[in-house]
Amino acid sequence: MKQYKIGYTTGVFDLFHIGHLNILKKAKEQCDYLIVGVSTDELVMKYKNKLPVIPFQERMEIVEGIKYVDAVVPQVDRDKFMAWKHLQFDAMFVGDDWKGKPLFVQVERQFAEVGVDIVYFPYTPGVSTTLVKEKVRM
């Protein structure tokens, strides 16, 4: 397993669950310093057309409280290359459910040009914010 100096991952982190914790823990195992981008409510509205259940500031505080996280930043857009220009991370950690999606095919090309790795982690089966919401509605 390759070790990185600075790692980066992003997410909405709404209704925090074990899948969220798994990606943060696995990311921290592979880097000295983990930066986490938390999607703003405005960004989530743009691409999901709905607001998260937990407000942005509270989601930021929840993620800041996780022992694997060294820094939390707002994710105001989905441009991962612009995030890299600002944060200068060595690796980005992502769930493998994003592998092959147009957003990450482009990011992989851009990151390859500047020597940044994308590390895909297996998606935690049987859990997602959508599933949590469905269980609560039952």
Would you please indicate which residues are annotated as catalytic (active-site) residues? Answer: 48, 50
Q: Rounded to a whole number, what is the distance in angstroms from the first to the last CA of the chain?
A: 41
Place of tokens 């969220």: 20
Q: How far is CA 38 from CA 16, 31, 100, 138, in A?
A: 12, 19, 22, 28
Q: Which of 94, 88, 92, 100 has the alpha carbon at shortest distance from 120?
A: 94
**% helix / strand / coil in the chain, to the nearest 5?**
45, 25, 30
DSSP 97: G
For residues 46 and 79, the answer to whether their CB atoms sit within 8 Å is no
